[in-house]
Amino acid sequence: MNYYLKVLRSYKDFDGRSDRIEYWTFIFVNFAISIAVATVEQIVSPESGILSGLYTLFVFIPGVAVAIRRLHDTGKSGWIQLVILIPLVGWIWFLVLMAKEGDPGINQYG
């Protein structure tokens, strides 16, 4: 949970590096919270979608920032994130990059 909060606090930091644990902890905690919000939303107001939309907007920028820092850890530019726009193959390549071990030493991103 500390990694999740760390990502939220550093939402405006697109420089530096994030290791695999920080990225994947954010993704899994975000997924769990999204399911919880959607469940509560279905109980309270099944047709609304407002709570889920607000939560998505709340975590969008921190999610992009942590993905960019994760790509920096593997020695790639943050612009590589746009590869997800390629159907199927882009998503697979992006997941491989996110699961890849980071550069052990200092690279051009820190």
* DSSP character string of 23-90: HHHHHHHHHHHHHHHHHHHHHH-TTT-HHHHHHHHHHHHHHHHHHHHHHHHTT--GGGGGGGGSTTHH
pLDDT score at 107: 84
Between CA 14 and CA 94 the distance in angstroms is 18
Q: Report the predicted TM-score, pTM, of the whole model to 2 decimal places.
A: 0.89
Distance CA 73, CA 20 (A): 9
**10-residue block means of pLDDT along the chain (110 residues)?**
91 90 96 95 88 95 95 92 94 94 84
The token duo for 24 is 């994947």
